[in-house]
Amino acid sequence: MASLREMRRRIRSVKNIAQVTRALEAVSASKVRKAVAALLATRPYATKAWQVLTHLAGQPGRESLHPLLTPRPNPKRALVVVISGDRGLAGTYNTNIVRFVMREFAHYPLPVDYVVVGRKGRDMLLRRRCRLIADFSDLPAAPAFADVSAIGRLVVDEFLKGNADEVWLVYTDFVNMMKQEVRAKKLLPLEVQRPEERVEAFEQGRKVPAAYIYEPEEREILDEIVPRFTALQIYQAILEGLASEHAARMVAMRNATDNAVELAADLQLEYNKARQQSITSDMLDVVRGAESLTRS
């Protein structure tokens, strides 16, 4: 059995760990709040932009609006943007992402290139010998749109140059504090549903936009709006990922704290028992000693 001193040291270190994880949990809790606020703040813009795009695509007589909206007949390569975290200690957050990527894309019918955001995802994908073509790790803690628009630009360029025929986005959707889900979303070609119900609405005499007036040219506007929207989706996914990461870390840290506290209690009990035992045996020694003295 471990000596009393060793046990004391062990108890102290476990208590220290509990303190550290408790602090980390508090930090993550405040970060998750901020990340969720940022996430909600950008939502109106994203929804409105999506609306504009569907309005555009919903116009009658438009087969191919823009190269970024047009599916290619014989896709040859795929590009996957993987959004992970820069740091560990977040429970299964990072491993879930990588596991998902492996499950979905390791045996994909097309050769796959990867663009990664986040150090952890990068390292794990490299270890699995995936072909990375770009790495956007070490983003600021609260990225602004400008910080991530380069990712969108790169992806759009690769697609237009023909280096990739489809582009996927893998990120962790923040459902709520306890639940985060890894999802894959097809980024390019952008699939805008042509809303059939518009026709019905028209027949019912409601107001439906016929064709837009474009100022300047239609082409120019689409050139501006479609790539930007792609970048926006990546931005949104990064914000989702950040919120998920902090939430995952918070939960992981809370579990760690609980475990450490429990362990410390167990150890303390054991320590007390051992101490009691040693006192008892010491006393027995004293009594025995005294007895032997009186007998003589």
Q: Which residues bind another protein (CB under 8 A)?
A: 38, 41-42, 44-45, 48-49, 51-52, 55-56, 144-145, 207, 209-216, 220-221, 224-225, 232, 235
- CB 235 to another protein: min, Å: 8
**69 close to 226: Cβ distance less than 8 angstroms:** yes
What is the spatial distance between Cα 293 and Cα 54, in angstroms, rounded to a whole number? 101
- CB 23 to another protein: min, Å: 30
Token digits for 94?
């990072």
- CB 188 to another protein: min, Å: 20
Q: In terms of CB distance, is 57 or 184 closer to another protein?
A: 57
Q: In terms of CB distance, is 39 or 116 closer to another protein?
A: 39
Token digits for 203?
């027949």
- CB 269 to another protein: min, Å: 53
Rounded to 5 degrees, φ, ψ at 60 are -65, 150
**220 close to 56: Cβ distance less than 8 angstroms:** no
**248 close to 16: Cβ distance less than 8 angstroms:** no
Q: In terms of CB distance, is 56 or 79 closer to another protein?
A: 56
- CB 83 to another protein: min, Å: 18
- CB 142 to another protein: min, Å: 10
Pairing label, strands 166-176, 179-188 = antiparallel
Helices 119-127 & 93-105 angle (0-180, nearest 10)? 40
Q: Which amino acid is at 208?
A: V
Q: Which amino acid is at 23?
A: A
Token digits for 256?
């760690």
Nearest to 221 by CA among 58, 70, 51, 52: 52
| Cα-Cα-Cα-Cα dihedral sign, residues 99, 103, 105, 106 | positive
Q: In terms of CB distance, is 4 or 41 closer to another protein?
A: 41
- CB 56 to another protein: min, Å: 7
Q: In terms of CB distance, is 88 or 143 closer to another protein?
A: 143
Q: Report cis status (omega within 30 of 0) of the bond before 140.
A: no
Q: In terms of CB distance, is 127 or 215 closer to another protein?
A: 215
Q: In terms of CB distance, is 2 or 142 closer to another protein?
A: 142
